Amino acid sequence: MSNSPYLLKATSVQSVMLRVLLALLPGLVAYIWFFGAAIVVQIVLASLTALAAEALVLYLRGKPLALFLTDGSALVTAWLIALSFPPLAPWWLVVLATLTAIIVAKHLYGGLGQNPFNPAMVAFALMIVAYPQLMSRWPVPGAVDFATQWGIIFGPYANHALDAITMATPLDALRTALHSAGTLPSAPTTVVSALANNPAIGHLAGRGWEWIAAGYLVGGLWLMQQRIITWHLPTAFLATLFLLSGLASVINPADFAGPLFHLFGGGAMLAAFFIVTDPVSAATTPCGKLIFAAGVALLTWIIRCFGAYPDGIAFAVLLMNIAVPLIDMATQPRVFGYKKTGDDVP
């Protein structure tokens, strides 16, 4: 007989992870609707690779296979990789990324609960640095049938054939337009003209993208209702991104896109509810969570506006991951009965 408490809530790591996967479904449905079923292929590829890699390392480390394989954490990593990668990326890119995430970013640091860096973001950052071209193979919304998509994922690499069916992401479209401003006489000079008549742009931000983002938002709110995530991280992330982009676009509307574009045009919603909320690698104190997520948003916005990559979430998350121990240490909450944080004598 163990010690008290004898009563335990019916919860488990597995149930937490499965609910995270469930919360991804609304976004995934929108994804399939706009960009075709290629993403399902990528998710299956990533999931199988993640489970195989997990099983291999668990075996090598002498850990109980059944217990850890069924905890669902590897699946969450796999899904996040697949969802943040372009759906038309070659099959081996997703497999390589997932292997890196599970073996290097997760298990070399000690496995579940021990990794200082978000495994999915480690994989994303590595791949976008190593294969920037492949990481931009986004299909034109609604244009490509599944057979073609399958052929692209598993077929030989043929850049010229791809051009017809892929296009830039909204963030990429904007940065290309703004960067070419002034070099060509016909080039757009402001955000408004760059976005006008651009096939990638929909009502709020990117065509299709805005609906996927809305799906993630719905799933994320459900996670909050389920008490799997707290309001701190998503709110701080979205609010900071909103304020920064809002302020910049008010001051200089010609060069800076507005907040809605930033929130709905890239991976912001996925990041807000599913990536910065990774409990293992994020800050844990209430105040620390606010600082951490605000920091991720600040870095994301800086990289998006001034950096070399269209979306900077992966780098922003990794940079803030490094700061987590410091943030947590500095933001210990007030303990019951003590006047302020860190008080020794009440």
Partner 1 sequence: MEVSGRDHQTRHHTLTMRLFDFNGGVKPDYQKEASTQTPIAVSPTPTFLVIPLHQSIGGTPRPLVSVDDRVLKGQRIGAADASISGDLSSAVHASTSGHVVAVEMRLMPHPSGLSALCVVIAPDGRDEWIERKPFDYRYHTRDETRDYLRDAGVVGLGGAVFPTHLKISSGKEDRLDTLIINGAECEPYITCDDALMKERADAIIQGVAILHDLLAAGQVLIGIEDNKPEAIAAMQAAVRARNPSDMEVIAVPTRYPAGGAKQLIRVLTGIEVPHGKRSTDYGVQCFNVGTAYAIHEAINLGQPLISRIVTVAGNVTTPRNYEVLVGTPMKTLLAQSQRLPDTDCLIMGGPMMGVALPSDEVPVVKATNCILAGSKKLFPPPPPEMPCIRCGECATVCPADLQPFELYWFSRAKIFGKAQEYHLFDCIECGCCSYVCPSHIPLVDYYRFAKSEIWAHESEKESADKARDHYEFRQLREERETQERSARLAAKAATSRTAAMAVPETPATENIPVSATGSATPAALIAAALERARAQQVHPKNTTDLTPAQQAEIAAIEARRTEIRTQAHPHLPLDD
In the complex, which residues of this chain contact partner 1 (CB under 8 A)? 1-9, 11-13, 15-16, 64, 67, 71, 73, 111-114, 227-228, 230, 279-280, 284-285, 328, 332-338, 346
Output 1 or 308, the one with its CB closest to partner 1.
Answer: 1
Query: Cα separation of 47 and 209, whole Å?
Result: 23
Estimate the share of the chain in helix, then strand, then coil, as percent rounded to the nearest 5.
60, 0, 35
Output 93 or 324, the one with its CB closest to partner 1.
Answer: 324
CB 121 to partner 1: min, Å: 17
CB 340 to partner 1: min, Å: 12
- Asked if omega into 5 is within 30° of 0 (cis), the reply is yes
CB 312 within 8 A of CB 299: yes
Output 311 or 328, the one with its CB closest to partner 1.
Answer: 328
CB 42 to partner 1: min, Å: 25
Nearest by Cα to 86 from 21, 132, 147, 30: 132
CB 216 to partner 1: min, Å: 20
First vs last C-alpha separation in the chain = 38
CB 35 within 8 A of CB 141: yes
Output 76 or 241, the one with its CB closest to partner 1.
Answer: 76
CB 78 to partner 1: min, Å: 17
Output 69 or 153, the one with its CB closest to partner 1.
Answer: 69
CB 75 to partner 1: min, Å: 14
CB 198 to partner 1: min, Å: 41
How many C-beta atoms lie closer than 10 Å to residue 90's C-beta? Answer: 18
Name beta bridge partners: 201.
206
Sign of CA dihedral 270, 180, 142, 214: positive
Cα–Cα distances (Å) from 332 to 187, 288, 291, 322, 325, in that order, read 52, 8, 13, 18, 11
CB 213 to partner 1: min, Å: 25
Output 12 or 189, the one with its CB closest to partner 1.
Answer: 12
- Tokens read off for 71: 């905890």
Output 76 or 94, the one with its CB closest to partner 1.
Answer: 76
Output 11 or 225, the one with its CB closest to partner 1.
Answer: 11
Nearest by Cα to 233 from 262, 285, 269, 276: 276
φ, ψ dihedrals at 281, nearest 5° = -105, -5
